[in-house]
Amino acid sequence: MVMAHSVPSETRWDPLQQPAHPSAVEPQYRLLLAALDLGWQIEEPVYLLPRWSDAGPRVYHFILYKPQVTSPRLVTVPQGPDVDAYVRDSGLRVVTSHS
């Protein structure tokens, strides 16, 4: 006979509903990663451009495509350490406004 620990299922599930580091990862970056997990692919180059002006913060523009979907999608992600590392580690070609 197997003895089950008597923990209500809600208690076990609750921690899974909260991100481990809620503010550590930009929501748009999580969206990009989720799309890639669902089979979308990044069409190079990736564009790194100012958000509003040349002096403002920069954002990455990722064009995503999926073979069975006719329309590509654009995902804009604010520049930050996580997405910078992803772009670098993936070897993606980046075009900037100064390229």
DSSP 33-79: HHHHHTT-EEEEEEEEEESSSTTS-EEEEEEEE-TT-SS-EEEEEE-
Rg, the chain, Cα only: 19
C-alpha 54/C-alpha 15 separation (Å) is: 42
Its pTM stands at: 0.71
The structure tokens 């495509």 sit at 65
pLDDT digit string, tens, across residues 34-90: 999 999 999 999 999 987 766 668 999 999 999 888 899 999 999 999 999 999 999
